[in-house]
């Protein structure tokens, strides 16, 4: 809840800064981006103490929330960083934590909407397989995070994101 609330607060701050075209926005966005990439690379190897693993997983989840916010409000800044961010995000598809996989499910359509042609060429197939698997596998009762409804929603959003407005055809597939 704290990470989601912090991401919402960052979202509102970015919305204001982008709207006002704040002079130091690029420097601030670079700092946020470097922190996000550091969080996405956090080490969760099982050879570490449990509290270090929990901190790394929290950093990963928080970073995924911030990526979604930055993609929404800072399209021009994120465009040259799209590849690195998406490669890092796709690395969490097989993550054991349902909360992290849920954020990937939510993030995929947003990323596709920002660069549909690049996404269609490089990431559509793998992302769609992940979303379909997430939609078809029920979440175990003990987990507490139900990915299935969000996966169905993300599939629909992905189709909309990958539809060429001029032709009505799906980009990257039939």
Instruction: Work out the number of other CB atoms within 10 angstroms of the CB of residue 5.
Output: 10
* 121-138 pLDDT, tens digit each: 888 999 999 999 999 987
Pair of tokens at residue 143: 């987990």
Give the C-alpha separation, 99 to 135, whole Å: 15
* 31-77 pLDDT, tens digit each: 999 999 999 988 777 677 888 888 888 999 999 999 999 988 887 88
* 84-130 pLDDT, tens digit each: 988 898 888 888 888 999 999 999 999 898 888 888 888 899 999 99
Q: What is the CA radius of gyration of the chain?
A: 17
Give the C-alpha separation, 46 to 31, whole Å: 29
Helices (H) and strands (E) in the chain, counts: 9, 0
Give the C-alpha separation, 147 to 94, whole Å: 13
Pair of tokens at residue 120: 């269609």
pLDDT score of 142:
60
User: Could you please report the per-residue DSSP string of 90-135?
Assistant: HTTTT-S-HHHHHHHHHHHHHHHHHSHHHHHHHTHHHHHHHHHHHH
Beta bridge partners of 170: 163
Q: How many residues does the chain have?
A: 174
Give the C-alpha separation, 43 to 57, whole Å: 8
Give the C-alpha separation, 47 to 174, whole Å: 45
Residue 26: pLDDT band (50, 70, 90) is confident
Residue 92 near residue 60 (C-beta atoms within 8 A): yes
């Amino acid at each position: 809840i704290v990470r989601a609330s912090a991401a919402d607060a960052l979202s509102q701050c970015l919305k204001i800064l982008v709207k006002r075209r704040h002079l130091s926005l690029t420097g601030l966005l670079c700092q946020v981006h470097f922190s996000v990439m550091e969080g996405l690379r956090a080490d969760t190897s099982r050879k570490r103490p449990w509290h270090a693993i929990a901190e790394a997983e929290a950093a990963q989840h928080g970073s995924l929330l911030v990526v979604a916010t930055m993609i929404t409000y800072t399209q021009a800044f994120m465009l040259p960083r799209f590849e690195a961010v998406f490669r890092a995000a796709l690395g969490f598809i097989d993550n054991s934590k349902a909360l992290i996989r849920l954020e990937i499910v939510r993030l995929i359509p947003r990323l596709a909407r920002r660069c549909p042609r690049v996404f269609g060429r490089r990431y559509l197939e793998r992302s769609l397989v992940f979303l379909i698997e997430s939609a078809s596998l029920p979440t175990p009762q003990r987990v507490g995070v139900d990915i299935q409804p969000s996966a169905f929603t993300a599939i629909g959003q992905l189709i909309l994101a990958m539809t060429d407005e001029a032709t009505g055809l799906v980009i990257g597939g039939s």
